[in-house]
Amino acid sequence: MENKQFGQIIMRLIKGGHMSRTETYETFCTILKNEVTEMQQGAFLAALCAKGETEQEIAGAWQAIYELDTEKVTVRTARPLVENCGTGMDTFKTFNISTGASIVASAGGIPMARHGARALTSACGTVDIAETLGVDVECEVSVVAKSIEKTHLGLFNAMSPKTHPNALGRILSKIFFGSTLNIAASLANPALPKFGVRGVYSRDMLIPVSKVMRELGYLRALIVNGVIDESDDLSIDEASVIGPTYCAELTEDREIKEFKIQPSELGISNAKPQELSPHGTKEQEAKAMVDLLRGKGSQTRLYAIALNASLVFYVSGESPSIGDGFEKARKILDSGLGYEQLRRWVMTQNREPKSGLRRLEQVSG
């Protein structure tokens, strides 16, 4: 596709027009192959995001990224793989809740195949905090697969050429705004799990993302957007302990149903919004995460990790209800099993396990 034709598509998006899945696939192939100028690529991503993506456009983008720029891997586990992540671009920035939730869920026996990036619109991304804790985030996908098989937890680095060898890292490292890639690229998981918990930045994205995940072959999924203090303006791409969480569930019979979680229904009270905000540096966040996984630290943060881990337990079928999953997650946190699981993860997803453990011990204090 030439620059002129590519520019015509950008103009259509600016005017509110849509693309089919096939056309979106072809356009993203052009971007991944770097066949048009980077200025055109950035304009396209901004125009598509500003217009608002349809499910067909997200699916087309995912298809291009997965087919052209994703190292595939087979992970052998007794139970189905589950992934959890957020899109970013939310209006209230939090500490890395999904990382804590995944560690707790994996400590509870759920095989977690995560796929995340460094911070683009947040203070500390999934890859950033994992690296600071001692996990090898630049390893081959085969190392991640073995970690999932041995410890039930692994993280594929979406910005590493060992995960996406051709173009994704080039693009993500040069833009500092949210785009369709926050959704489509995060779904391009090398292990292709069929169960997922996904946080989105807006309630308007709940149904479209649910439909995309259904089209991509997910068997069961939960898509959430959490509200901060009943605000119309502040929300997070996680389940919220400060206000209601709006959910869209993709069920095993391919239906999509909507419901709402109220923190009070789970016995959550007196949670403080400011305690969800990042502390500052990656090292401070890592130390706080270690404390939480030992069952210590902010009660608000402990609630947040337990609630979001409960969604994984529910979607995987481990827990019959979110409430049951919440109690399971709290017991894991209270017991300190979360920290033991973190140590196993650091030792296993690592080309240099001793170096990783030294780093963990340094941030643990």
pLDDT in tens, 37-52: 999 999 999 999 999 9
How many CA atoms within 13 Å lie on the side-chain side of 155? Answer: 30
CA dihedral 218, 206, 200, 113 (to 10 degrees): -10
Pairing assessment for the beta strands 220-227 and 245-250 based on DSSP bridges = antiparallel
pLDDT digits (tens, 9 = 90+) for 205-240: 999 999 999 999 999 999 999 999 877 789 999 999
The pTM score is: 0.93
Q: Which residues of 270-290 are buried (b: 16+ CB within 10 A; e: fewer)?
A: ebebebbebbeebeebbbbbb
**pLDDT band for position 161 (cuts 50, 70, 90):** very high
pLDDT score of 89: 79
pLDDT digits (tens, 9 = 90+) for 298-326: 999 999 999 999 999 999 999 999 999 99
Decide yes or no: CATH 3.40.50.300 for domain 82-346: no
Strand partners, 226: 236, 245
The owner of tokens 């979406």 is 158
Q: Indicate the domain borders of the chain.
A: 3-52, 82-346
pLDDT score of 243: 95
